[in-house]
């Protein structure tokens, strides 16, 4: 029986390229996308065993519905790739009263890990080197206090990355492994803006690597089960830096996420 891989944000960019690679390797791929029409087009464009799962990662209730759908379809999730991400241009609060990128980039992976952990094998968390510029302020980052178009993205990625070693320790006895990876500066729609700034960004992005290149380090980690709790820059394991080393902060970030999601 083919191994099953779930890829969030699989309808475009790096996520789509990851789905293509894994389907080409014989995985049964569940492509998670918020937009049913765009997701269906993406799934239909990939050769192999690819199914669309429509799911929104911006609210707690929607993540729980997605987890329920995945549980109905998958007796086992051999690989879970947390790829979906949001780089906001303005402060937007979800129906839970949370800043939207905090919900998508941090809380959604946290909650999915909990809701699916009895059937997980391998988790790959797509991260970003910008985490070193972030500040994880418990009680403030969650609601977008002091929102900033650049730093808020780094804040949410730091919050998420702080939990990776804690998940590794939580799952050590069960054999589930988790690693995080920064796949490089890739030409995707992440962070696109309108107006003159948006036009300039599009020009700059022409020089960035294609999504297929970004998929390489992620797919490489899918097959690397030699460790857990690690952070990779492209294909090289590198030590965490700055606030990501703060164990006490990591504990507080974890407890906040538990409280916000009612996960245990």
Each of the 264 residues of the chain gets a pLDDT tens digit; together they read 789 999 999 998 999 999 999 999 999 999 999 999 999 999 999 999 999 999 999 999 999 999 999 999 999 999 999 999 998 989 999 999 999 999 999 999 999 999 999 999 999 999 999 999 999 999 999 999 999 988 999 999 999 999 999 999 999 999 999 999 998 765 455 544 444 444 443 443 344 467 688 899 999 999 998 999 999 999 999 999 999 999 999 999 999 999 999 997
Q: Is the dihedral of CA 148, 150, 151, 152 positive or negative?
A: positive
- What's the pLDDT tens digit per position in 100-148? 999 999 999 999 999 999 999 999 999 999 999 999 999 999 999 999 9
Number of alpha helices (DSSP H) and beta strands (DSSP E) in the chain: 9, 8
Looking at the whole model, is its pTM more than 0.95? Answer: no
81 C-beta neighbours (distance < 10 Å), count: 29
How confident is the model at residue 205, as a pLDDT?
38
How confident is the model at residue 206, as a pLDDT?
47
Q: Which of 16, 131, 153, 231 is catalytic?
A: 153
Express as a percent the part of the chain with pLDDT over 90.
83
Cβ atoms of 41 and 16 within 8 Å: the answer is no
Tell me which architecture the domain covering 4-261 has in CATH: 3-Layer(aba) Sandwich (3.40)
Listed in sequence order, the residues at least 6 apart from 115 whose beta carbon sits closer than 8 Å to its beta carbon are 63, 64, 67, 71, 263
Round to whole Å and give the CA distance between 23 and 29.
Answer: 6
Domain ranges across the chain: 4-261
Is 16 one of the annotated active-site residues of the chain? no
How confident is the model at residue 203, as a pLDDT?
41
């Amino acid at each position: 029986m083919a191994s099953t891989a779930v890829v969030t944000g699989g309808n475009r960019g790096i996520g789509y390229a990851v789905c293509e690679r894994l389907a080409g390797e014989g995985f049964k791929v569940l492509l998670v996308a918020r937009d049913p029409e765009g997701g269906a087009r993406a799934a239909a464009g990939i050769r192999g065993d690819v199914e669309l799962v429509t799911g929104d990662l911006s609210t707690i209730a929607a993540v729980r519905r997605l987890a329920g759908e995945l549980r109905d379809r998958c007796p086992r999730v051999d690989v879970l790739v947390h790829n979906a991400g949001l780089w906001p241009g303005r402060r937007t609060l979800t129906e839970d009263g949370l800043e939207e990128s905090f919900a998508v980039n941090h809380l959604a992976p946290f909650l999915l890990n909990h809701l699916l952990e009895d059937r997980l094998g391998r988790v790959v968390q797509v991260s970003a080197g910008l985490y070193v510029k972030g500040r994880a302020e418990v009680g403030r980052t969650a609601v977008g206090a002091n929102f900033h178009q650049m730093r808020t993205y780094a804040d949410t990625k730091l919050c998420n990355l702080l939990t990776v070693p804690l998940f590794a320790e939580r799952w050590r006895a069960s054999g589930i492994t988790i690693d995080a990876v920064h796949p490089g500066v890739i030409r995707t729609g992440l962070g696109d803006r309108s107006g003159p700034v948006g036009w300039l960004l599009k020009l700059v992005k022409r020089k960035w690597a294609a999504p297929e290149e970004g998929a390489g380090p992620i797919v490489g980690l899918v097959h690397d089960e030699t460790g857990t709790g690690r952070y990779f820059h492209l294909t090289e394991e590198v030590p965490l830096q700055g606030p990501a080393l703060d164990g006490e902060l990591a504990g507080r970030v974890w407890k906040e996420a538990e409280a916000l999601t009612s996960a245990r």
